[in-house]
Structure 1
Amino acid sequence: MKIKYVTIIVDDMDKSIEFYTEVLGFEVDDVFDLPGGKIVLLSNGDETGFELIQNSTFKTGFYSVGLDVEDIHKEMENFRKNNVEIAMEPTRISVGIMARVIDPNGVNIVLIQHGT
């Protein structure tokens, strides 16, 4: 299991992109326009990046950590055994399978098994 991305909900997408690109040296990988919002994916050539989301649904700030996993069902079994709150059961998405659990502090931990 490895960290793939960190999601941050932002108030001002332009200022946020400027900060992460000009100050931290990340590059914009992809932009997705959504009804009432936008998602911007940033990377720096490493395997870990940032996902910036701007919309009116979520409160501004740290939202989630995305983990790349080899066997999502095995990981979910471990979470169940340890009584971890499961917010979303494994669900097929365009790049594989995704699930979401909540850590003891209320932080979303998103698991993604690619290519299945």
Structure 2
Amino acid sequence: MKFLWTTILVNNMDESLKFYEEIVGLKMTERFQAGPGMEISFLGEGETKVELIYNEKFKKLDAGNRVTLGFKVESLDEKINFIKEKGIKIITGPIEPNPSIKYFIIKDPDGVKIQFAQQLQSN
């Protein structure tokens, strides 16, 4: 069995695409109408894929606190600076829970938690 993608229901497709492309760094690979009032976009390549779905039948969605998407970065400090330049609030961190990883968390336009993590070199 192979994991294919994570699906996120969004309130605004254009706003969400901008966030996942510009802030997270995922490239949109596909965008299409999936029926009246419904649109689907796929982002990412290889093992990291995200599906965004907008459906006008779903009114103001609440992401809750149940999901966090984690992305590996080469430099946490560079990503923090980038996030701050974009005016996005860091809601948690940076935290180093053990000597091998350091991370921080922000939220996407719909409240989904996005974690950026750097794997640290062990001595």
TM-score bracket for this pair, using the shorter chain length: 0.3 to 0.5
More strand by share: 1
Under a length normalisation based on structure 1, what TM-score does the superposition of the two structures give? 0.47
